[in-house]
Structure 1
Amino acid sequence: MAMPPATGSTERSDATGVNYTSALSLLATLFFMWGFITVINGTLLPHLRSVFDLSYTQTTLIESVWFIAYFFASIPSAKLIERVGYQKSMVIGLGMMAVGALVMVPAARLPSYEVTLFALFVIASGITLLQVAANPYVAVVGKPETASSRLNLVQAFNSAGATLAPLFGGYLILGRTTSGTAAAGAAALTPAERLADAQSVVLPYVIVAVVLAILAVVIARFPLPAMGSSTQRAARAERKTQSLWKHRNLVFGIPAIFIYLIAEIGVGNLFINFVSQPEIGNLSHQQASNYLFLLWGGMMVGRLVGAFVMQKVDAAHVLAIASIGATIVMLVAAFTTGHVAMWALISVGLFHSIMFPTIFTLGIRGLGPLTEEGSGLLIMAIAGGALVIVQGWLADHYGLQNSFLLTAACELYVLFYAVWGSRPTAAVPDPVGR
């Protein structure tokens, strides 16, 4: 998938004349694929809930395992990148994702809840490796003041993948199953129907595995430029004189990523179940997946708009406005019913759109030679998505709609970060000519 060049010649090359347009275009394809695979879970979870007859807590545990991988795989990923380089690490990450996708085949044929968890953990570990490599690369290949704009632009392709995933999953998973096409409140599945429904994930994940393998070959053969020396890990002697914890924007940025992910993943994973309820949308799961398409489409549009706006407006100001908007629509979703609640939940995608890339670039601003290490910590914070199980527990005990009050609380922390926590301290001056 091609990515349009960012505005301004300084975004296309550095002071040495190295042109990054082709590299960023190829990286946009990686962002697309991990967005696509991550959001397939949005259609996979209601499917697995029916196949294995799971509670909301058990259902969100599946997604928790996915994001626990970010916690365990981030530091090993950083060490692997340090040892073999960014390009080989991306190839390895794509290979891991392909293997995990293929493990979904025996998981469906058994069928096995435990093997499904293992397969998703492997896929997520591969995505973690890609995240640790690609996000800082995109952030530092142009002018520092437009890093948020640049990363939002590439992240728009992540959202494009996320936008198409519900249609893909809705057609090939939910649309071919008894549970996916059943009306809201339909009777429980028979054992034979459960077994037949479980098989529906085989074809989609085989297709995903093949695409990932092809992309790995393309990445392996592509002349990807090296990152600048100004962002490499500081030498051990130099490292003793520096500390990540003197940088307020990083210290508060780590929990900002962690808490934001609870909000984003909770909305995405419980969306289909929420809008399917009789008092909200009264839809089948397949029909609801079409509206999930609009949620992620809003994120894609928001990132494209955000990339343009942040060329002119300070990124922290844009983040503050987005967090206020997200808080308002989540309160509407929690306290109203019918199409008002449904469209409020859909609209949160527009406000969520710029949050992750903007928090990330604000978090690494001014880190200088500590950028790589700080990036690894921010990617590790994506493990916050694992706490979506808390929202599952709230949904089981206090109602699915009330559980979205947790999301509203998360938005308020993002507002705090935008207003105060993102202000850099002990910033390292950017090298001349970068």
Structure 2
Amino acid sequence: MTEASSRQSYAFAFVMTTSLFFMWGFVHNLDPILIPHLRRAFNLTVLQSALVDSAVFVAYFVMALPAGMLIRRVGYKWAMIFGLSLFAAGALLFLPAADTHRYAVFLAALFIIACGLAVLETAANPYISMLGRPERAVQRLNLAQSFNGLAATLAPIVGARLILVDGVPDAQLQAMPESLRQATLAAEAASVKGPYLAIALVIMLIAVIFYFLKMPAVGAAGGGAAGQAAPAAAGSALLRAMRKASIRRAAIAQFFYVGAQVCVFSFFILYASQAAGLAQVAAADYLGWGCGLAFVCGRFAGTWLMKYFASARLLFSYALACAGLSAVAMFAGGMAGVAAVIGIAFFMSIMFPTIFALGIHGAGADTEMGSSLIIMSIVGGAVLPLVFGYISDATHNLQYGFAAPLLCFLVIAWFARAAAREQGAQAAVANDGVLQHV
């Protein structure tokens, strides 16, 4: 293969893998639309509606380790195709979920989608990280994750107009006979069928493209002798990865980061409706054009700033900023609180890819299992929203729920400080080596 064709192969593989970041970002950011939609359709409390996030992020806990083993056995490409297949199957399950009007079936569909996403994220994050020069891994991953942020902008805006239909007013709904009321709510719930059918078709098309795509080999995964590891060897690799302090700290930080992100995005529409009195569609626009656009701008800005500042130090500063803004969201009402939450979206934008890249940096043969552990910790997205919902229901004030993300950002600041010390020590060792050769 010539140098030019090799560059083209890397570039196309990067583009196609980055498309996965957009697609899982899009479907994840439909969840904040689903929560108020299903809350009305099934008359749920805040805590019960948080089960949408729990169904999604429990799947990451269940699938992350099997995904790592799958990557070691069949390689990144086939793992991605398998993840896409689960993604499409879960999206198609939304059709019978809407037809039967059962909350449990919606949760099952979300769980299956998330199983596919867990495989995709376990494969795509390290693949992008290793697809090029090691010293550019954090920037490369932030660039790919920027398209995840773009999806966070578009999904609420599009989803609100397709899913949050203008239904019967609540007062009129409550006055209906029970059978008619249930039929009306079932008809409203059916608005999810078109969007999720379209998502399933797009995902199947992407899977077909991956089937024919020749992807550059990176790292140790990819089948062959290394990929045929026995379960005992896989278990040994997992224990070895857990012994690395950077991977352990990254898994803890990612648990709290994902929990914080899910709290901020998933409850934004409810927060804006209660704290600022916004209508749901208007709140969804603020979620898209406000939080989503701030998130994607933060990703691009953070990628640029990492040319001049160490990634761990930038992460530390951003975590403290998010903690402060969470306190504002707790105690400031009206549009000031909404603005604070939008600010959180900007500053938390670099956190997932930066924590991930810092965690697996220098992991070598432990990269796949380290990646699995960090992706597994995404289960924080299932736990922290329940804490948010419990605090909100107990205090009868959704704003106080922001105590949960405030705690999360303080944990991320702890991780960033430890990573900054590690980066500083590595830089000192590298400088000593340079001086010895002078």
Per the normalisation by structure 1, the TM-score is 0.88
User: 2:90 maps to what in 1?
Assistant: 100
Structure 2 letter corresponding to 1:203: G
Q: C-alpha separation between the residues in 1 aligned to 2:386 and 2:399? A: 15
Distance in 2 between the 1:324 and 1:368 partners? 31
Whether the aligned pair in 2 keeps the contact of 1:111 and 1:195 (CA below 8 Å) is yes
Q: For residues 227 and 60 of structure 1, what CA distance do their matches in structure 2 show?
A: 38
Q: Confirm or deny: 8 A CA contact 1:92 1:126 kept in the other structure.
A: yes
Structure 1 gap segments, 5+ residues each: 1-12
Is residue 298–residue 347 contact of structure 1 (8 Å, CA) maintained in 2? yes
Q: Please state how far the C-alpha of 1:223 moved relative to its aligned partner.
A: 1.2
User: What does residue 283 of structure 1 align with?
Assistant: 278
% of aligned pairs identical? 37
- The aligned residue for residue 178 of structure 1 is 167
Distance 1:351 1:142 in 2: 27
Matched with 1:372 is 368
Contact persistence 1:332–1:341 (CA under 8 A): yes
Write out aligned runs for 1:286-305 (5 A).
286-293=281-288, 294-305=290-301
In structure 2, what is the Cα distance between the partners aligned to 1:54 and 1:230? 44
CA contact (8 A) 2:388 2:403 kept: no
Q: Residues 424 and 186 of structure 1: is their aligned pair in 2 closer, same or farther, counting only changes over 3 Å? A: farther
Pairing partner for 1:40 from 30, 44, 52: 30
Structure 1 residue aligned with 2:377, among 374, 377, 381? 381
Instruction: Find out whether 1:361 has 2:357 as its counterpart.
Output: yes
Q: Which runs of 5+ in 2 are unaligned?
A: 431-438
Counterpart for residue 46 of structure 2 = 56
How many residue pairs end up in the alignment? 409
Contact 2:257 2:409 in 1 (8 A): yes
The corresponding residue for 1:254 is 251
Q: CA deviation at 1:186?
A: 8.9
Contact 1:68 1:383 in 2 (8 A): yes
2:114 & 2:158 partners in 1: Cα distance? 19
Shift of 1:263: 0.6
Q: Tell me which moved more, 81-90 or 33-42.
A: 81-90
Between the aligned partners of 1:38 and 1:17, the Cα distance in structure 2 is 32
Aligned counterpart for 1:31 among listed residues 21, 38, 43: 21
**Cα offset, 1:311, TM superposition:** 2.3
Question: In the alignment, which residue of structure 2 is the partner of 1:308?
Answer: 304
C-alpha separation in 2, matches of 1:243 and 1:127:
25
The letter for the 2-side match of 1:284 is A
Question: Partner residue of 2:345?
Answer: 349
Aligned equivalents of 1:419 and 1:23: distance in 2? 34
Greater helix fraction, Structure 1 or Structure 2: 2
Give the alignment of 1:94-243 within 5 angstroms.
Answer: 94-174=84-164, 176-178=165-167, 188=174, 190-229=181-220, 243=240
User: What is the distance in 2 between the residues matched to 1:214 and 1:348?
Assistant: 35
Instruction: Give me the TM-score of the superposition, normalised by structure 2.
Output: 0.87
The C-alpha deviation readout for 1:233-292, integer Å capped at 9, x for no partner, is: 89859x78x933443221211110001111100111111001011xx2212211111011
Return the offset for 1:177.
3.6
Cα distance in 1 for partners of 2:344, 2:172 equals 29
Distance (whole Å) between structure 1 residues aligned to residue 221 and residue 122 of structure 2: 17
Question: Aligned-pair distance for 1:193?
Answer: 2.6
CA RMSD of aligned residues (A): 2.7
Match of 1:6 in 2: none
Q: Distance in 1 between matches of 2:148 and 2:72?
A: 25
CA separation in 1, counterparts of 2:360 and 2:158? 35
Alpha-carbon contact 1:93-1:127 (below 8 Å) kept: yes
Amino acid at match of 1:27: T
Given the superposition, is the C-alpha separation of residues 202 and 401 from structure 1 closer, same or farther in structure 2, using an over 3 Å criterion?
Answer: same
Question: Which whole-Å CA distance do the structure 1 matches of 2:85 and 2:227 have between them?
Answer: 26
Using a 3 Å threshold, how does the CA distance of structure 1 residues 323 and 22 change in structure 2: closer, same or farther?
same
State the 1:141 CA deviation: 2.0
Shift of the 309–234 alpha-carbon distance from structure 1 to 2, 3 Å rule, reads: farther
Amino acid at match of 1:85: G
SS in 2 for 1:311: coil
Q: Is the 8 A contact 1:146 1:311 kept in 2?
A: no
CA-CA distance at 1:187 after TM superposition: 6.7
Cα drift, residue 191 of structure 1: 2.8
Aligned partner of 1:8 in structure 2 is: none
